[in-house]
Amino acid sequence: MNRVIAFIPLIAFAAMAVYFWMGLRQDPSEIPSQLIDEAVPAFDLPAIEGFDQGLSHEDIQGEVVLLNFFGSWCPPCLIEHPMLMQIARSGTVPIYAIDWKDEPGAGAAWLERHGNPFIRIGDDQSGRTAIDFGVTGAPETFLIDRNGRVRYRHVGVITEEVWEDTLRPMVEALQRS
């Protein structure tokens, strides 16, 4: 048995161990967005029940915006909501929203109860637009630049940290350029 061959199993294991170690630091349930640096998918959604204006991709051209997917059925969305209200009040960046798979009227009732930080809201009852965006759950927020290109996607709740450390710097950088 050749010395070199005898050590191959150990070398293979060592390589594996390195990957495991690196893998521990990652969240395997995060899937990177396919849309980064791509144009926003075309959509034209009606208004949710109780509102006048819907949302289309043309409405969010020309400035840096956040696009938030939410639903009244989604508990983490409720957790994130005060943060969105805070961002809206600060005026740093306009937030648009898509009400995903909600019963008619439910979205409006929810916003009535908890406050409405959104400039305009589109009603995606069928879920097609969410699929076009590659959305896997709510809440998800997309950062879109003034040319209508998706620059970043945040999966999950936007916390104080996420805003201060990640989103806000990106928003401001895009607004300056």
Partner 1 sequence: MIAELGQFLLILVLCVAVLQAGLSAAGLYLKDPAVFGFARAGALVQFALTLGAFGALTWLFAVSDFSTLVVAENSHTDKPFIYKLTGVWGNHEGSMLLWTLMLTGYTAALAWSSKAVAPRLITLTFAVQSAITAMFAAFLLFTSNPFARLWPAPVDGRDLNPLLQDPGLASHPPMLYAGYVGFSITFAFAVAALIEGRADARWARIVRPWALTAWTFLTIGIALGASWAYYELGWGGWWAWDPVENASLLPWLAGTAFIHSLRVMEKRDTLKAWTILLALFTFSLSLAGTFLVRSGVLTSVHAFAVDPQRGVFILAILLALIGGALTLYGLRAQTLRPTGTFAMVSRESSLLVNNIFFAAAIGLVFYGTFYPLFVTTVSDETLTIGAPFYNATFNPLMGVLFLAVPLSGLMAWKRAKLGQLLKTLSPAVIAALTAGVIAAWMANAQPVTSALGVGLGIWVGAGVLADLRSRIKLFEIDFGASLRRAAGLPLGIWGMLVSHLGLAVLIIAITGVSVWKQETRAFLSPGDSLELSGHVVRLDDVVRLDEDNFNAAVGRFHVTRPGGSEHDVVASRRFYPVRGMYTTESGIDANFAGDVYVTIGDLVEGRGWPVHVYLYPLAIWLWIGSSILALGGVLAILDRGRRSLSSRKQLPGAST
Partner 2 sequence: MKKLLLALSTLALAAMAPGPDEIMEDPALEQRAMALYDQLRCVVCQSQSIGSSDAPLAVDMRSVVRERLLAGSSDGEVLGYMQERYGDYVLMRPPLQANTLLLWGMPLIFVLAGGLLAFRYIRSQAVEDETLSDADLKKAEALMKEEGLE
Closest CB to partner 2 among residues 84, 135: 135
131 binds partner 2 (CB under 8 A): yes
Q: Which stretch binds partner 1 (CB under 8 A): 3-11, 63-71, 115-123, 140-148?
A: 3-11
Query: Which 3 state secondary structure label does DSSP give 34?
Result: coil
CA–CA distance, 13 with 148 (Å, rounded to integer): 47
The candidate with the shortest Cα–Cα distance to 40, out of 22, 67, 18, 13, is: 67
Stretch 5-34 residues interacting with partner 2 (CB under 8 A): 29, 31-32, 34
**CB neighbour class for 6 (10 Å; exposed up to 12, middle 13-18, buried from 19):** exposed
Return the residue of 15, 62, 105, 128 that touches partner 2, per CB under 8 A: 128
To which residue do tokens 């898509």 refer? 98
* Residue 16 contacts which entry, partner 2, partner 1, none (Cβ below 5-8 A, type-dependent): partner 1
Contact of residue 6 among partner 2, partner 1, none (CB under 5-8 Å per partner type)? partner 1
Count Cα neighbours of 146 within 13 Å in the Cβ-side half-sphere. 10
Measured from the Cβ of residue 13, the count of other Cβ atoms closer than 10 Å reads 10
131 binds partner 1 (CB under 8 A): no
Which residue among 43, 69, 96, 133 contacts partner 2 (CB under 8 A)? 133
91 binds partner 1 (CB under 8 A): no
Question: Stretches 19-27, 103-111, 125-133, 164-172: which one binds partner 1 (CB under 8 A)?
Answer: 19-27
Q: Is 91 in the site for partner 2 (CB under 8 A)?
A: no
Eight-class DSSP state of 113: H
**Nearest one of 174, 119, 128 to 150, comparing CA atoms:** 174
Residues of the shown chain interacting with partner 1 in the complex, contacts defined by CB under 8 A: 1, 3, 6-7, 9-10, 13-14, 16-17, 19-26, 28-29, 31-32
